[in-house]
Chains A and B, each alone.
Chain A
Amino acid sequence: MTDAIIDIDRVTKRYGSHTVLQDLCFSVRPGEKLALIGPSGSGKTTILRTLMTLETIESGTIRIDGEPLFQMERNGSLVPADEAHLHRMRTRIGMVFQLFNLFPHKCVLDNVTLAPMLTKGVRKADAERRAMELLDLVGLADKAHAMPAQLSGGQKQRVAIARALALQPRIMLFDEVTSALDPELVEEVLNVMRMLGSTTDMTMLLVTHEMSFAHDFADRVLFFDRGRIVEEGPPDVLFTNPTHERTQAFLKKIIAAGQRI
């Protein structure tokens, strides 16, 4: 598949003797919204972390826009990527974390302007203007000068989304972004993501336990178990009519836990 923005080919990842990803293959079209679901420990978060280069892989190839992520070409052959290559590849990808990971010593505005100013040389005034637009987009323009500690979890996560957007990535990774939130704060974050999904052509990968959100939001759902894709398909098919028994068992458990799908 040559038009894929992300192409994952026979990727294996181990922690010691524990295999987290096993010969994993899948690709993502530009602009596609992909939901990764499955029991914890199934490897779905590891995929996002690997795409963000927070983890390395043992074997296989990941290509972003056709370009290998962890290798680079030198004199016609592929060699392990150096820091400069990884740095260049990372400019295409942004990530939002489960625990927000805002910089606690910087105010909201500085959290959003820091990376554009440092990595792209954007002038302070321009970075701040752009940051205010983004904070406005996530509904937090009035909190620009607050410190992260003064914000609710939902507000922190919306700042984290603005921070990732500030670098204008083509691919956004959302790693269980509502899992650490109080239930009443989940919706404000999901609303921001819905808005992003419908107003931008960013490619979005999300790992989530919010099945009904995944259902409405995603173009395609991948069900993971033990480091492999067990089943994939459009949400209407996968959620209502899963063929694999492990998918059925997983969804049954989710419904038993009280979630609407």
Chain B
Amino acid sequence: MEWDWEFVREIMPMLLDGLRITLLATLLGSILAAVAGLGFALLRRSKSRPVARITGFVVEFIRGTPLLVQLYFLFYVLPELGLLLSPLTAGVVGLGLHYATYASEVFRAGIDNTPRGQWEAAKACNLTPYQTWRHVILPQAIPPMIPALANYFVAMFKETPLLSAITVIELMSEARGVANSNYRYLEPMTMVGVLFLCISLIAVPALHLLERRFRPTR
């Protein structure tokens, strides 16, 4: 088996199309994971016992089941219950919710690390609970979490090939498509690996930069 540069050149546009979808899914999934993760973390701290319990159960349930199963459920089972999601939407929701459960742990730790005195000072300043979260707690809690969150988003990026199982035409499905129709796997699969590696290699120094930028100063 010999490496065929001509074939690589031929399939590159398709692979880059797939990479575009991969990156889009990662970006949207990360945003959803961050927002839903914060939501989970706040609901778990709710004063209402049932709300905190149910959220805790949902989080454990999502984290304790495989992402692939969740993706199948979202894409193939929900339509039977009347909710039809496009492949990309189902993929983003699946990735986002799955990683939201990990993100919620990061948020929870960050919030717990905020000293008690900050809550008390906010109360002595007569801020409402919402104002306390918005102006005092979250602005302090979130920056130190950003490196840990970014780590999960890189992990999410590397799990996007699972989306090919629910017909999202991302990098992996594009590659499998051209491989199957040309009976050549060496170049497509190698290029998938190379493209993932390139993005990850860019992400590593970016992560270090984030870690330096948000190193706690207190």
Contact = CB atoms under 8 A, between A and B. Distances in A.
Interface of A: 52-54, 83, 87, 90-91, 93-95, 97, 99, 101-105, 114-115, 118-119, 149, 163-164, 167
Interface of B: 115, 117-118, 120-121, 123-129, 131, 135-136, 139-140, 217-218
B124 A95 contact: yes
A23 to B, nearest CB: 26
Nearest to A118: B131
B127 A118 contact: yes
A97 B117 contact: yes
A256 B177 CA distance: 87
A104 B120 CA distance: 14
Contacts, number: 59
Contacts of A87: 126, 128
Contacts of B124: 52, 54, 90, 93-95, 97, 164
Contacts of B218: 104, 149
Q: Is the interface of B mostly helix, strand, loop or mixed?
A: helix
A119 B120 contact: no
Contacts of B128: 87, 118-119
B125 A97 contact: no
Contact of B121 (A90, A101, A118): A101
Given A104-B140, A105-B140, A91 B126 contact: yes
B107 to A, nearest CB: 17
Contact of A119 (B115, B125, B136): B125
Nearest to B121: A101
B214 to A, nearest CB: 11
Given A97-B117, A101-B117, A103-B136, A119 B217 contact: no
